Amino acid sequence: MASGKMVAIVTGSATGLGSAAAKMLAGKGWNVTINYTKSKDEALATEAECRKLGAETLLVQADISKDEDCRRMADATIAKWGRVDGLINNAGTTIFKAHSSLDAINAEDFQRIYAVNVIGSYQMTRAVAAQMKKQGKGSVVNISSIAGVMGIGSSIAYAASKGALNTMTLSLARALGPEIRVNAVCPGFIQSRWLRDGFGDEVYEAAKKGQEANTPLKRAGTPEDMAEVAVFFITAASNVTGELLIVDAGMHLGGAPLLAR
Amino acid of residue 239: N
Give yes or no: 36 in active site.
no
Burial of 254 (0-12, 13-18, 19+ CB in 10 A): exposed
Task: Mention every residue, 6+ apart, whose C-beta is less than 8 A from residue 200.
Answer: none
Mention every residue, 6+ apart, whose C-beta is less than 8 A from residue 208.
Answer: 189, 191, 220
Length of the chain, please? 261
Q: Which of 114, 122, 158, 204 is catalytic?
A: 158
Q: How many CB atoms lie within 10 A of CB 3?
A: 13
Kindly give the pairing relationship between strand 7-10 and strand 86-89: parallel
C-alpha to C-alpha distance for 175 and 186, rounded to whole angstroms: 21
User: In a 10 Å sphere around its CB, with 0-12 CB exposed, 13-18 middle and 19+ buried, how is residue 240 labelled?
Assistant: middle
CB 141 within 8 A of CB 87: yes
Q: Is 234 helix (H, G, I), strand (E, B) or coil?
A: helix
- Contact yes or no for 242/178 (Cβ under 8 A): no
- The set of catalytic residues is 158
